[in-house]
Chain A
Amino acid sequence: MLGLPVINNLIALLLWESFFVLIIMPGFAVLGTLLLILPWIERKMVGRMQWRVGPREISPRTRGIIQLLADSLRFLFQEVIIHKDAHKRYFLQFPFLYFIPVLLPLLFINAGTAGSPLVPIVSDYGLQLMVALICLMPVFILGLGWASNNRFAFIGTVREAFLYFAYEIPFIVAVFAMVVMYGTSNSVGVVDAQAGGLWGIILNPIAALTFFIAALMATARLPFDIPEADQEVSFGPFVEFSGIAFGLAYVMGYEKMYVLSALMTMLFLGGGSGPMIPGLGEVSYLIWFVLKTLIVMIVVVNLRGVYPRYRLDQGMKIGWNAMLILALVAVAWSLVIGAII
């Protein structure tokens, strides 16, 4: 088989660095696996926190790890209802269009370490492009809500819009603080600047905190799941979605979280830096990178077991007051520390 030129080329393509990073690890393949595993981890860990076991009976030996497979298959096979008053076209298109801003930032993620970058596209404006794409996401959620033409979707959409403004500026400013700190916005340069274990989170903890809270708001996780609050607006923009359309929307939240966590890993946790695992070569950086991202994600999902939800006005107050101030302080901090270093 290996003699056939096609296979050779295929393998060569797969192992071509940029391609591998984008498609396999930490790109789409890992993302897909994580999407199936992470909600399970979430349900298990939160279950533990709540004195119960979480999904189990589906495969008792493996502690129910394939639970999400059943859920997603079920969504796939379920009827998709488009109700009379919906904007039919938008209603069906937006869940798919939403993929674009969610997946594109992966192009600029550097999963390598100082000296050996692993990034699909090297660009001097990598960070800016990523931030721009991330800030594009809420627009699609607004579109979803608008197309649903439902009272709760309407309220949820408006909430999303309000919250979007509240977290977006501190988020951008926090990233800006790190650009100032590292003196570059190239994802290769960003990771290089954190060489020697001097991670961003140590250099500028304030920016890291602001970034983290903004990520919580952006992914609508507790305590900021205000736009999707199921007791209040029953999943807000997604209320009318059923079957695979809802499945996509549901999964999208996790994808967004993945992108933000990956960005956080790159900006603050030293990218893929870590001890070499013998025999794996550069792949060991990728493993470190995915592990770090996973840890960030687990922290994010576990907050569900700890916090109730803020009210909209409180969430906005936090965004416009505390976080904005924190972000500005972070910039000042960067200037000072940057000058010292």
Chain B
Amino acid sequence: MATYDKLFETLGLTDWCDVNKSGGPMSMADLLKQAKGEDASVDDTSFWETPFPSLDELNSACPAIPKSRDFTDIVENSFLSIKDPLKAVLDPITQPLSWALDGSLWLFEATPWFVLIPLLLLAVFYATRSFGLVLFVGITFLIMAVIDHYVPAIQTLSIIFVCTGFSVILGVPIGILMSRSNTLQKVMIPILDMLQTLPTFVYLIPLIFLFSVTESKLYGIAIILYAVVPVVRLTDLGIRLVDKEVLEAAHAFGMTDRQKLFKVQIPLALPNIMAGVNQTIMMSLAMVVIASLVSAPGLGVLVLRGIRNLELGVGLVAGFGIVMLAVLLDRVTKKALARVNAAQKQ
């Protein structure tokens, strides 16, 4: 007999409970109880051990009340029921992400190392105008290449580039819209907070149901959902912080809204937007190991191998490689940001 039997008796609901008795499947706990045959001894639970009247507890007294498992079933079933229409909508619009990820991976891998590394160094120089950083990046790649981590490193880099690109393409316009409407900002901030704090695995689960694990967009979406947040936030902030007098000047000289956006707001918000991009890159890097769980190639795969097979060395070296990439990307974007800042300081 269960703790709350008396309650239902007092309320005179025993009949109702029994009429609706459902022969649902037994939970593991019930099975265990049955096996131990301790069904009858429950009545003498002391007052101090009274359990919280949760669904499962009430159910054992009155079978008409659903169990907690039914609740999770409802969540699961409702997701499964909208899965197909959701997939029909999301599949085509996220397809470009798969193409971009696969295409970029192919390009990075197909380009010989003696072409790709100089190209990357050139890009670093163009963005930062700093020989020190070029040297640093060069040495990092050299070390990676010598210890045969070149391919996973550029795979990771390729994924980061594509995901950062998509984050900017999505995040900047959303940030701009947010900066224009206080209502939208109020709606978006909790969503952004949620994206940033939800444990990554939580949105991996529905994604796995929606897309097949072999599709690259699966990990692409997971990374972007997590990494897009700082670009959105800092675009919104940057545009809201644009000097009011400069905006007045834009109006006073007869700028259209478009001119105002592209000639004043975005350029003046650029230091903040770039700071957002820097954070986005760092956050995508933080996701590469988790992304490797769902088939993303790169250094994350090696880390996972280290964990799965207890190959300590492999895991640590790959982890260190990720740190090197992070430091490198951080320094390069910070330096580029500093150049923008220097050109703009008032």
A and B part of one assembly = no
Chain A contacts to B: CB under 8 angstroms = none
**Chain B positions near chain A (C-beta within 8 angstroms):** none
